[in-house]
Chain A
């Protein structure tokens, strides 16, 4: 009985390893047709679902035709995009068409799938989110750990942590109906675009980042802070010269962890990024990110387009795995 339970516990612990390995292997196998066909060129190819016939002139497959001309055509129909509701409906309807269209076209010509647009969309939206979230999260963390008196810091701290628990779909829905229109009033353009997606993503990771950063800052021993104050240092100098150097690793680690979370976030972005294969030439262009491509197209795809989607999923998995491992092993390793 004892040895039996011990074996069982070993097996359970190994499932973690097995599942992660299985995810990698299964995604690789599923993506293989696309990997073999496009190789690493997939990463720099901006066409998605475009058939190229023998004359090598690209034909846009009926994918998302309603809203955008898919490739290198930034004369986007702003009016249509303006009405976010209409647009999203149109996209969903078109997905079914697209799946059918792609299947037909495969027979007489070559369909090209490339991941450049979703990859760029993912990176840019995450970048905007980080630029927006880092200063605010730092501000909140400084406020909570150094400025606010305990009777304010405590409820605000709890509020921030609770807000980190709100499902991401709520952030997305709020972004679609309230924040997107609000931003479009200020900067113009449509209410679903790269900028809105990045900002909503930023707002979503603020609570997560702030509470982790605050925790790191709180690990600074009081003795250090007090000796600095005793030398006549101001609060800012203590924060800058004592707390930051001491908690640097933890703070950077928290930021990267939040970055990893932003990279793979689906629902908060899916509502507000536009979901169209369009290379963003300016911040207010609608585009698409890897998780959103997966969310919108996965169920209706098959064959080569499905393999291409698995290729994207694999890329996302590997990138976030590297980012998170980097944060964990390089910056947060002292904790354990």
Chain B
């Protein structure tokens, strides 16, 4: 009897695993079939107004890069504080926990927050608001990564640095960060992969634009928002463009993740 129950449970969980994988591969396969069919050179050289994706791809990258420029320095320095300056006091523990909670905060709520402080007062959606929403979203991820990676650096390295009389900030920048460089880079790569596919916080912050623009004071083109809009259009050609965009986005994200994984593995 015990053996039969054992068999049943093992078979059930294997089936669950197979079922889960079926769903997930179903998604990837339809995405590939639909995406490859719709991808051609034309969509990379034309903007949305001419049924292309060029302005959207550029727009999404620009938003994510600006988010990185804002979020990474703040997040890294905050991570450095938690690991190097706080001596693990109550405040640091509090911030660490808070940052973990913030990591799972609904992204659309961050969008509403940014709308209230940056869109409503200005009167129209703009690229800066989108970039800042993404920066807020990635901030806790960067904090966590920096914190964890600096924690892995051996204590002896710090002591060696201090022993030769270097001030602490020099020890941090010249020794500790260098030692943790690979780990931090990987973390940043994964944070980038996370925000590049975000839609919800952009919907009403940066909005969308049909045209190619680099002016962040205006509504800004974004691939994910455009996919959302195009996918629900009755025009089949536009839906196909959305599939092409979805395909590019997904494989871009997956490749970044694989690269991040490869770096970690290489290091070990």
Q: Which residues of A contact B (CB under 8 A)?
A: 1-2, 5-6, 8-10, 12-17, 19-20, 22-23, 26-27, 29-30, 85-86, 88-89, 92, 135-140, 142-144, 147-148, 156, 158-163, 165-171, 173-174, 176-178, 203, 206-207, 210, 234-237, 239, 257, 260-261, 263-267, 270-271, 291, 294-295, 298-299, 309-310, 313, 316-317, 320-321, 324-325, 328-329, 336
In the assembled complex, B77 has its CB within 8 A of some CB on chain A: yes
Return B226 CB to nearest CB of chain A, in Å: 10
List of B residues within 8 angstroms of A12 by Cβ: 74-75, 77-78, 81
A residues near B20, Cβ cutoff 8 Å: 136-137, 139-140, 160, 206-207, 210
- Pick the residue among B13, B102, B193 that contacts A19 (CB under 8 A): B102
| Stretch from B48-56, B194-202, B209-217 at the A interface | B194-202
Q: Judging by beta carbons under 8 Å apart, are B250 and A166 in contact?
A: yes
Interface hub of B136, B198, B200 (most chain A Cβ within 10 A): B200
At the interface, yes or no: B57 with Cβ under 8 Å from chain A?
A: no
Please determine whether B106 and A165 come into contact, CB atoms closer than 8 angstroms.
no
Contacts A159-B21, A170-B31; A10 near B2 (Cβ below 8 A): no
A-B contact pairs, 26 of them (CB 8 A): A5-B169, A16-B99, A16-B143, A19-B139, A20-B102, A30-B116, A136-B16, A136-B19, A139-B15, A148-B17, A160-B20, A165-B254, A167-B198, A170-B31, A170-B250, A174-B27, A203-B27, A237-B6, A239-B9, A261-B104, A266-B108, A271-B232, A291-B108, A313-B112, A316-B106, A321-B105
Q: Report how far A187 CA is from B224 CA in the complex, Å.
A: 31
Q: How far is the CA of A324 from the CA of B140 in the complex (A)?
A: 14
Report chain A residues within 8 Å CB of B100. Answer: 328
> Looking at the complex, which of B38-46, B61-69, B89-97, B179-187 is the stretch in contact with chain A?
B89-97
Most chain A beta carbons < 10 A, residue from B16, B75, B86: B16
Pairwise interchain contact B199-A169, C-beta atoms closer than 8 A: yes
Mark B1-31 against chain A: 1 for CB-CB distance below 8 A, else 0.
0110110011011111101110110111011
Task: Identify whether the interface residues of B are mostly helix, strand, loop, or mixed.
Answer: helix
Given contacts A16-B95, A235-B6, contact A171 B27 (CB under 8 A): yes
**Does B176 make an interface contact (CB < 8 A)?**
no
- State A237–B10 Cα separation when bound (angstroms): 11
B5, B30, B116: the one contacting A27 at CB < 8 Å is B116
B165 at the interface (CB under 8 A from A): no
Residues of A contacting B74 with CB < 8 Å? 12, 15
Instruction: Name the residue on A nearest B92 (C-beta).
Output: A13
B108 lies within 8 A of A159 (CB): no
Tell me whether B105 and A320 are in contact (CB under 8 A). Answer: yes
Residues in chain B near residue A237, CB distance under 8 A: 2, 6
Q: Which residue of B lies closest to A158 (CB)?
A: B261
**Chain A residues near B138 (CB-CB < 8 A):** none
Docked-complex contact B112 and A167, CB < 8 angstroms = no
CA distance A222 to B30 in the complex (A): 41
Q: Which residues of A sit under 8 angstroms from B228, Cβ to Cβ? A: 169, 267, 270-271
Interchain CA distance A235-B81 in the complex, whole Å: 46
Task: Kindly provide the distance from the CB of B59 to the nearest chain A CB, expressed in whole angstroms.
Answer: 15
Q: How far is the CB of B158 from chain A (nearest CB, A)?
A: 15
Contacts of A295 in B (CB 8 A): 108, 200, 203
Report the separation of the CA atoms of residues A156 and B242 in the bound assembly, to the nearest whole angstrom: 29
Chain B residues whose C-beta falls within 8 Å of the C-beta of A20 in the assembled complex = 98, 101-102, 105
B246 → chain A, closest Cβ, in Å? 6
Q: A163-B24, A328-B101 are in contact. Are A143 and B13 (CB under 8 A)?
A: yes
Complex: A293 Cα to B9 Cα, angstroms = 41
| A309 vs chain B, min Cβ distance (A) | 7
Closest to A199 in B: B23
Known contacts A86-B234, A166-B250; A264 and B3 CB within 8 A of each other: no
A2 touches which one: B92, B167, B243 (CB < 8 A)?
Answer: B167
Q: How far is the CB of A263 from chain B (nearest CB, A)?
A: 7
Closest to B234 in A: A85
In the assembled complex, which residues on chain B have CB atoms less than 8 Å from the CB atom of A10? 81, 85
